[in-house]
Chain A
Amino acid sequence: MIRVKNVSLQYADGPEVLSNISFTLAAGSFHFLTGRCGAGKSSLLRMLYLGHRPSRGHMEMFGRDIFQLEAFELPEIRRRVGVVFQDFRLVSHLNVFENVALPLAIEGRPEQDYTRNVEELLDWVGLGDKLHQYPELLSGGEQQQVAIARAVVASPQLLLADEPTGSVDAEIGERLLGLLIELNRQGATLLIATHDTGLLERHRHHAGELQLEEGGRLRQLPPVRAKTSE
């Protein structure tokens, strides 16, 4: 589904943030993206949600060569990717319902077409009673839930989450991660960027790992099978 081969990424004339990296994300797979702060995790995610095109290499998403895409074709590919941004990026003048419905509204669909779906989704993430509240009145965990709901509302094929548990306590973090894993079970390919080693240890038996190293290089590791007790 996602094939990245010998890809490098640089901003303007700066040094390469990602250097000659290769990995594959199979459809429905679950991976963590790890690495120290500044290793390029956010840049790799940005490359995958087409916020910045790679400078060289080969990158294929959903069967399309990214380097061959015309500008007018990019929105269609972006709509297949759901993103939970590290800073949530909720729109302050839109309420919870409107924030979550944004990916559907941009398709030009009338509101009555998706009202029920959005309400059910918000019920599912536990915000069914806060449809008309504005983000600034929500707690950090609730804002994160809204961000997750917005990322999944249009049923994306690829779900990217940048430090989704970074700004919430452990209990809420586990609940949010549970939401993402549930979506992965329903078929979405999941890639979570994190530096939370505890989280990684708890889930690495069913999640692969993309490990960013010094110099912008990357190693892809498969899930670690749990040892059977003798």
Chain B
Amino acid sequence: MIIPHSRILPRAMLGSNLLPLVIAVNVYLASLAILGGLALVSATGQWSAELDQLVTVQVPPEAGVGREAVVKSVLGVLRDHPAVAQARPLDAAEMEALLRPWLGQSAVIRELPLPQLIDVAMRPEGDLDSLRKRLEAEFPGVEIDDHRLWRDQMQDISLAARLICWSLVSMISLAAVAVIIFATRATLESQNELVALLHLIGAKNSFVAGEFQKHFLGIGIIGVLIGLVPVGLTIASVLYLTGNDPAPWMGRLSLGLFDYLLALTPPLTAALITMLTARFTVLRALADLD
């Protein structure tokens, strides 16, 4: 790939400053922020979508010796109700598995007065309120948990993840623009004799700005190419980790092609931002010459 360069500004400057490295770091950080944000949004979205269709019915332990019959009746009502797609009671092993993270492999679990939990998968347009009213009317003490609290928390986390992600990208972009303005002014300062000469022999401001624009586009492209290396390595690592025997939480961090393309936005726009920032900085400085 040919790196654009100015015919008039010293070519040696192209690689002799640290700006490409600064752009590379910014590109990497911005891509990382977008990838992280997208993964969190994707995970919370999946959790939320799963919870949307699930409710849990609890038959309290107070039902005593007749609880088996109560559970059976509740299951009958659930399976006949038009809003319910599927209803399944959790067995003792599943209950133990749920409590194991808190109580460990203790035999105490089996002796605890636990409620009987029934997993209920709702139909997409199922009327939860009518189901709740019917169960409450026929089985006092039976509770329906629609996970609203969890769902609300997931939505809050998702919104927070988005906000943090875009704040990070904005801050990183702002920092990059500030550095580029500083570098452009420094270059302009170092080349002030050349700029003054061009001005006096009749160069239009747009020509001078165009030369700086080409120069900084070259720097931007070099920075992007450097930054793409860690971005690519990170994406490859995420793909590897999520593709080969992922951990349960990692399985949720699934990203689509569009997400990876979005993560490539910073590299693609960084060179453009560098070029345009340089152009406007130079035009503004040259406007004072006449």
Q: CB within 8 Å of B: which residues of A?
A: 49-51, 71-72, 74-81, 83, 89, 91, 93-94, 98, 102-103, 105-106, 108, 111, 150
Known contacts A74-B290, A91-B197, A108-B207; is-contact A103 B202 (Cβ 8 Å): yes
Q: Is residue B157 contacting chain A, with contact meaning CB distance below 8 A?
A: no
**Which residues of B are found within 8 Å of A83, using beta-carbon distances?**
200-201
Known contacts A75-B203, A75-B204, A89-B193; is-contact A106 B290 (Cβ 8 Å): no
Known contacts A74-B290, A89-B193, A91-B197; is-contact A105 B202 (Cβ 8 Å): no
Q: Which one of B6-14, B234-242, B252-260 is at the A interface?
A: B6-14
Q: How far is the CA of A91 from the CA of B201 in the complex (A)?
A: 13
Q: How far is the CA of A46 from the CA of B156 in the complex (A)?
A: 67
With A102-B197, A106-B201, A111-B7 given, can you name 8 additional A-B contacts, CB distance below 8 Å?
A49-B200, A75-B203, A91-B197, A93-B12, A98-B7, A105-B7, A105-B8, A106-B207
Asked whether, in the complex, the Cβ of B200 is within 8 Å of the Cβ of A78, the reply is yes
Asked whether, in the complex, the Cβ of B203 is within 8 Å of the Cβ of A106, the reply is yes
Asked whether, in the complex, the Cβ of B202 is within 8 Å of the Cβ of A89, the reply is no
Instruction: State which of A71, A79, A98, A150 has its C-beta within 8 Å of the C-beta of B202.
Output: A79
Q: How far is the CA of A77 from the CA of B198 in the complex (A)?
A: 14
Known contacts A89-B197, A91-B194, A91-B197; is-contact A102 B204 (Cβ 8 Å): no
**Which residues of B are found within 8 Å of A81, using beta-carbon distances?**
202
**Which residues of B are found within 8 Å of A91, using beta-carbon distances?**
8, 194, 197
Measured CB to CB, the nearest residue on chain A to B289 is: A71
- Which interface residue of A71, A83, A91 has the most chain B CB atoms within 10 A? A91
Measured CB to CB, the nearest residue on chain A to B7 is: A105
Measured CB to CB, the nearest residue on chain B to A69 is: B290
**Which residues of A are found within 8 Å of B198, using beta-carbon distances?**
102, 106
Measured CB to CB, the nearest residue on chain B to A73 is: B290
Asked whether, in the complex, the Cβ of B200 is within 8 Å of the Cβ of A103, the reply is no
Asked whether, in the complex, the Cβ of B8 is within 8 Å of the Cβ of A102, the reply is yes
**Which residues of B are found within 8 Å of A50, using beta-carbon distances?**
200
The contact string, 1 if C-beta is below 8 Å from chain A, for chain B 212-228, is: 00000000000000000
**Which residues of A are found within 8 Å of B194, using beta-carbon distances?**
91
Minimum C-beta distance from B78 to chain A (A): 78
A-contacting residues, B1-38, CB 8 Å: 7-8, 10-12
**Which residues of A are found within 8 Å of B12, using beta-carbon distances?**
93
Measured CB to CB, the nearest residue on chain A to B290 is: A71
Minimum C-beta distance from A103 to chain B (A): 5
Q: How far is the CA of A68 from the CA of B201 in the complex (A)?
A: 20
Measured CB to CB, the nearest residue on chain B to A74 is: B290
Q: How far is the CA of A10 from the CA of B287 in the complex (A)?
A: 21
Known contacts A71-B290, A108-B207; is-contact A94 B200 (Cβ 8 Å): no
Asked whether, in the complex, the Cβ of A103 is within 8 Å of the Cβ of B10, the reply is no
**Which residues of A are found within 8 Å of B200, using beta-carbon distances?**
49-51, 78, 83
Asked whether, in the complex, the Cβ of A76 is within 8 Å of the Cβ of B202, the reply is yes
Q: How far is the CA of A71 from the CA of B280 in the complex (A)?
A: 18
Q: How far is the CA of A76 from the CA of B203 in the complex (A)?
A: 8
Q: How far is the CA of A51 from the CA of B289 in the complex (A)?
A: 9
